[in-house]
Amino acid sequence: MPISHLVERFGTPTYVYDESKILDCVGDLRRFDVIRYAQKACSNIAILDLMRRHGVLVDAVSAGEIHRALTAGYTAGSQPPAIVYTADIFDHDAIRLVVEYGLHVNVGSPDMIDQLGEVAPGTNITLRINPGFGHGHSQKTNTGGEHSKHGIWHTQLEECLRRADHHGLGVTGLHMHIGSGCDLEHLAQVCAAMENAAMTAGRGVVSISAGGGLPIPYRPGETRVGLDGYFQLWDATRQRLENAFGHAVTLEIEPGRYLVAESGYLLAEIRAVKQTGDNLFYLLDAGFNNLARPILYGAYHPMSVAPRDGDARRRLQDVVVGGPLCESGDIFTQEEGGYVVRRQLPAATVGDWLVIECAGAYGFVMSSNYNAKPLAAEVLVRQGAANLIRARQTYADLMRGECIPE
């Protein structure tokens, strides 16, 4: 669909998602018994509805995400659980909803076992185990090891089993996720740690979750993760547990980024082209209030220029791409640590459009109203038709709920 048509209808900045790409990625993972979408990656209810209609279950990490899943049509009480609450704490709203709807919980802290046991004794739970090591494309995305807040420390597993038994909670599942990115050497360590934990937990375990973190290729030349090898390692672990326990063990995977990242594009307009010393800047009407991954992680996103006049025969030049915010870190072409780098892009003028690609995961969901900027619109392209799935925030929306005391 031409960028000009999308901009004419919806303006900029706008997030656009390609439904067909999401469904292709869902298809990649069908060999797993359960695909559970980590909705924190992109939680618009239209995306959740799409997942539900294609057999993908959902993970919720907050009371708000529970409400989103319910609104999108997910229901409690099914097996395997359609909604699993996964977190390292219960806030008051979350535990109330868990009890009200009888939701399955993936417990990330020993205290959660006692808190759930006091209000819902006799229920089944999953334990998220921190195996003592981690792995991530950035230190900020490493979710294992002693510096990570996530999961139950592996040496506390037996204590947590005793806590669960004290409250009559059945430990029926184990979950292990050590961070984003994937290589088979690290994965083999995770699988071995999962197997050891499952043998300690015992025959009551009927499901194991491989977690998420599956990477996608962002940079030129990067290859896709080898899903065959990834599945084979986890499946072999599952089979050994089935042989040891004498019953079937369900194998789940819990991706977020993998399912939606490549489907998403952030459309922005170039509003200034300026020279500062040796650097030529393209300044957009989108900033880190719209896409925070570059400023948070130094994350790389592919970019392309869509000329307003349709002339694609433009020379390439080295540019720095930034946003409109009153903040020196508002740069889309930066590396981890805040180092500004140049990107080779076609020559552009004010009024041309710039497309930030692979922005479907951790894009809109991490948006803010910094500098009193309204949140962007979201659009889902389905069978060639563009559907507005979130209206652009208005200036009245910005101040809703605020008041000046008398």
Which residue numbers are catalytic?
A: 326
What are the residues whose beta carbons fall under 8 Å from the beta carbon of 217, sequence distance 6 or more? 223, 224
Give the count of beta carbons closer than 10 Å to the beta carbon of residue 293: 22
Q: How far is the C-alpha of 225 from the C-alpha of 266, rounded, in Å?
A: 24
Q: How far is the C-alpha of 59 from the C-alpha of 51, rounded, in Å?
A: 12
Q: How far is the C-alpha of 229 from the C-alpha of 240, rounded, in Å?
A: 17
> Which pair of tokens denotes residue 354?
């710039």
What are the residues whose beta carbons fall under 8 Å from the beta carbon of 309, sequence distance 6 or more? none
**Amino acid identity at 28:** D
**Amino acid identity at 345:** L
Q: How far is the C-alpha of 104 from the C-alpha of 56, rounded, in Å?
A: 16
Residues 198, 240 contacting (CB under 8 angstroms): no
Residues 262, 219 contacting (CB under 8 angstroms): no
